[in-house]
Each structure stands twice: as structure tokens, then as C-alpha cells.
Amino acid sequence: MAERTLMQLAAVVVLGISAQWLAWRIRLPSILLLLFLGFLSGPVTGLIEPDVLFGELLFPLVSISVALILYEGGLTLRLRDLPAIGGVVRNLVTVGALLTWGMAALAAHWVLGLRPGVAVLLGAILVVTGPTVIGPMLRHIRPTGPVNPALMWEGIVIDPIGALLAVLVFEVLLAGGLQAAWGHVLRAVFKTVLVGGGLGVLAALLLAGLLHRRWIPDFLQNAVSLMLVVGSFAAANAIQSESGLLAVTVMGIALANQKWTDVQDIAEFKENLRVLLISCLFILLSARLRLEDLIQVGWGGAVFIAVLVVVARPVAVAVCTFGSRLKLRERVFLAWMAPRGIVAAAVSSLFALRLEETALVATGEARLLVSATFCAIVGTVAVYGLTAPWVARRLGVAVPDPQGVLFVGAPAWTRAVAELLYKRGFPVLLVDTNRENTAAARMAGLPVYTGSVLAEHALDALNLGGLGRLLAVTPNEWVNVLAVQRFERVFGRGDCYQLPSHREARHNRESHRHLGGRPLFAKDVTYASLVQSFATGSLVKATKLSAEFNYEAFQTRYGEDAVLLFVITASGKLQVVTAQARATPAPGQTVVALVPQDKA
């Protein structure tokens, strides 16, 4: 018996992480592979039996895991994004949630044949839009403008709201009708907001205060953070059912936006933990499905998914964005992005079990609730995952050949280069761990991110819309190498560039050139030489070449001290100058160079 249990536990981890890795290799949404392997290992082969393996511990473990996932999601949200998208996000998680709830419930009743009460419960569960799926999709698509942060905010904030709606519906079912449960519903909403929000803020303030006063050693920071998340989640749930999800989400948002202390290490740990939790949860929950339940859904499941995709989401977005400053193409893209994820799967499985325990509905109908939810997850992830990149490019919210630059490192000379490019219409983003550098960049009006580009959560936190290349220009040679390796899957190896920190580093790179990016600018140019040149008065200057003043004349005027950085073609494309090939700018093109001040 012990060996059988060990084999099942090992299978959950091995299958989950294998699915994540394979999905990364073939560029598919990982949830599709996780659901497939979970279904294969559960009802098809019987390799994994979650209810036997965990017994009554299964759903408490699922609940805590979902809480940790939402906490990690909250850590990626920044309040500075809200001035541009706050109204749209507010509408999507309120009016949009209600519209989606109603249309999904009607479709569940008419198409799937669920009783009205169970159909309304399913509609509430499917309000959530799956941040664990949206994040990787947005990272791949890289949409420009406000749609990226709007989708991330909606995906995370809507989860506790959907769970609360499901709780309220369940309470109404238990009471036998809305009239009998009206007072209880109002109390539940009030207690959820008060208890969940209050405990979340208190937990965040407590953790930030302890870290600020250095009362927690480095090796215990993640453990204490984990303790507070689980403790606040359990305490909130003990006072009001399902208010714990709101508590951990608020805790993550509050902690990410406080100014007392840096929480980058905690965010990175939670990201790694999130990958493991999502992998195991989807394997376990899909392994609980039964073949006969999926057969019972039948072709009605496809019609139900079609209603969610082509009716419910577009209608909700049209209403919620009416009168907003979003462009039409941005609204259309918002309407074509609403995949369901782990929270919907976990909540549906939990309430199906409660329905069975309370005998409110027949066992078959309770299981149909779970099957319909998983069909919605698979269908929406497949539809949006396979079509959203094409839709984004056709709408123009994702640039087919993005010309923007991600600068890793923001010293003074880099800020000057970024400012010039930004004023000429090229998207830029500067990332640095040095707060003085990022503060100076922000004062110059440049998009900036303070933190490590190597942190796992950075891929979700960075808005890569419009960016098409990476320039790693920090003074740390191996940070540059790792940054290139990290982002070559995003931009492609040909668009990842690296500046050697000093002459010895450039010479040493010849023996391991396969590890880093393309060498920047010229063979004798290094980080140290550019810092020295800028400190002694050199300027970043853009010069348009002509037949009379061609590149040879430019070289004659500025001499050997000029460092050619970029070439802007006549069609408006940005070319990065590398040490691998001699640059030959032509008349009609604009050269961006670092030139001596006395010759500028």
C-alpha cells in the first residue's frame, strides 16, 4: 500500500512538471497538456486515484494551493497601472462579471440541461478568467497599450469575486431560495469584504514591517511569508466561507505596492512554487474526472463553449468598455481573451463535492458540473491559445515586427540613448536593480521597472508590448549572459545583444561566445569605456545622412571617438550596430551615436 501511494505521488509530480516542460518546448498552453496527462493517468489508466490518495485532505490541500497561486498573482500587480485602465478593470470585475454569470447560467440550463440552481452555480464559477493561463499567453503575444495590464488585473481580481459568487449561490441553494437567504447573502458579502480585505492588508503590513525592521533573517523570509498567507487564508475562511481568496489576493497586491521594503526574493520564490502547484493541481483534478461524465456533456459542451467565447465575453466587454478611452481594436482584443484556469477547476470540484454531501442534487448532475467546467477550461484555452496571437497581429495590438528595446541596466548613458529613441517613437523599457538609476529614468519620463530581470516573476511583471530586442548593458558580465539566455525565447537569439563590461571580458567571451548575446557596437567598446566617455562630456546624438553629408563625412567630422550605436532606416526600422559586421549607413538613414561634446 505504501509503495502504491509513493508511486502515485511521484506520478503527480513527474507528469505535472513534464507537461510544463513539454509545453514550453512546443509553445502550447501548458494547461492543455496537464489536463490531457491528468485524464490519461486517472480515468483512462487508473494510475492516479486522487480521492484514494488524499482522502479528506484533497480539497483542503487544493484550497491552500489556490490561495498561494492567487497571492503570487497579487504580487505581480502594480497600482501605477490603474490610472489608465482602472475604470475598465472595475467594470469588467463588476458589471462584466454579472453579465458573464447570467449568460453562462442561461447557456448551462438551455444547452447542457442543468437545473436552474446548478446552472446558476456553474455560471458563477465560470466568471473567473484564469490568470495562470493569461500570463503566459500575454508573454507570448506581447500586446501593446493598456490591454496587457487590464487583462492581468482582471484575471487576478476576478478570481475571489467568482469564488464569492459561487458561495452565495450555494448558500441560496441550501436555504431553498433567494428570499429565504437574502439577509444571509448580504451579511456574507459584507463579512467577505471586511474580513478578507482587512486580514489581507494586516498580513501585508505585518510582513512588510517585520522585513523593514530586519526582524526576519534572509533564510526565513519565504517561510514566514508562506506562514502568513496560509494563516490569513485559514482565518478568513473560518470567519466567512471562501473569503480567504480575497484575503490572500489583497495581501499580495498590498505587499507588492508598499514602499517600506523590497519583496523581490519573496515574489521569485512564490513564482517557482506556483509552477509546481499548478502542475500538481491540474493533474489531480483532471484525474478525478470520469469517462461517463464527459460523454454525458457530449456535443452540448462545444455549443456551451461557443456561447462563452462568441457571445458572453464580447457582450460583457462591449458594455464594460463603452465610453472608455480604449481604441476599438483594443476592445476587440479584450473580447477575444478570457481563458478559464485553475481556480474554476478547483472551485467546481469543491462545490460538486458539497452538492453531493448535502444531497441537494443527484450525484450525476453534480459530476456534470465538474465535467462542464473542465470542458470550458479546455475549450477556452484551446481557442484563445491558438488564435489570440493571430488576432492580436491582425488588430494591430501586437506588432508583427516590434522595433522597441528592452534595456537591462539603466546607467546615465543608457538613459540618454533610451530617451532619444523614445522621443523618436520607439518603445523602450529600462530594467535595473539600482533605485537611483530607475528613479532618474522615471524622472525623464521613461518606462522603467525596478527589480531583477532574472527573477521568474519578471516575465509576467514586465510589459513587453512593442519591444522586439534585448540589450544587456549592466556592468556584471554574467548577469548580461543570463539575461540573454532568459529572453532569447521571447525575442529570439538574433535579437538579444550584450555589451562586455571591460576589455578582458570581451576577450574572454571568445571562448564561450555561445552563452551570451550578439556583441554590441564595436570591438573595442565596453561598458567601462562608454561610462568613461559619457562622464567626460560625450553626447548621444541622432544625425540624418544625406548625399552631401554621408557616413564618410560623419566619420570625418566626429573622428574615431564617435561610437555608432543604432541606425534608423528610411522606413523607420531600428537596426542595432554590432561588433560582428561593419556598419554602412546610407543616405536617407539616421545614425544614433555617442559623439564628443566639442564636435557635436
pLDDT (tens digit per residue) in 325-373: 888 988 999 999 888 877 787 778 777 777 777 766 666 677 788 888 8
- Cβ atoms of 230 and 203 closer than 8 Å: no
Of 274, 265, 276, 272, residue with least CA distance to 220: 265
Lowest mean pLDDT segment, chosen from 163-177, 190-204, 259-273, 507-521: 507-521
Write down the pLDDT at residue 191: 79
How far apart are the C-alpha atoms of 521 and 55, rounded to whole Å?
62
Write down the pLDDT at residue 275: 78
Lowest mean pLDDT segment, chosen from 35-44, 353-362, 544-553, 554-563: 353-362
pTM for the structure as a whole = 0.70
Lowest mean pLDDT segment, chosen from 41-45, 139-143, 333-337: 139-143
Write down the pLDDT at residue 316: 93
Write down the pLDDT at residue 100: 93
Say whether pLDDT at 193 is over 60: yes
List, by residue range, all CATH 1.20.1530.20 domains of the chain. 2-395
Of 341, 268, 203, 247, residue with least CA distance to 72: 268
How far apart are the C-alpha atoms of 360 and 252, rounded to whole Å?
36
| CA distances (Å), origin 233, targets 66, 187, 236, 596 | 10, 19, 5, 60
Buried b (16+ CB within 10 A) or exposed e, 459-496: bbbbbbbbbbbbbbbbbbbebbbbbbbbbeebbeeebb
Reported as a single tens digit per residue, the pLDDT across 271-320 is 667 778 888 888 888 888 777 766 777 788 889 999 999 999 999 999 99
Say whether pLDDT at 512 is over 60: no
Percentage of the chain with pLDDT > 90?
8
Write down the pLDDT at residue 182: 66
2-395 topology per CATH? Na+/H+ antiporter like fold (1.20.1530)
Say whether pLDDT at 513 is over 70: no
List, by residue range, all CATH 3.40.50.720 domains of the chain. 404-599
Reported confidence tier of residue 180, pLDDT bands at 50, 70, 90: low
Reported confidence tier of residue 511, pLDDT bands at 50, 70, 90: very low
Whole-number average pLDDT of the chain: 81
Write down the pLDDT at residue 173: 75
How far apart are the C-alpha atoms of 402 and 469, rounded to whole Å?
8
Reported confidence tier of residue 268, pLDDT bands at 50, 70, 90: low
Average pLDDT score over residue span 211-217: 84
Of 482, 492, 397, residue with least CA distance to 431: 482
Specify the higher pLDDT residue, 137 or 33. 33
Superfamily in which the 404-599 domain is placed by CATH:
NAD(P)-binding Rossmann-like Domain (3.40.50.720)
Average pLDDT score over residue span 80-105: 85
How far apart are the C-alpha atoms of 556 and 230, rounded to whole Å?
67
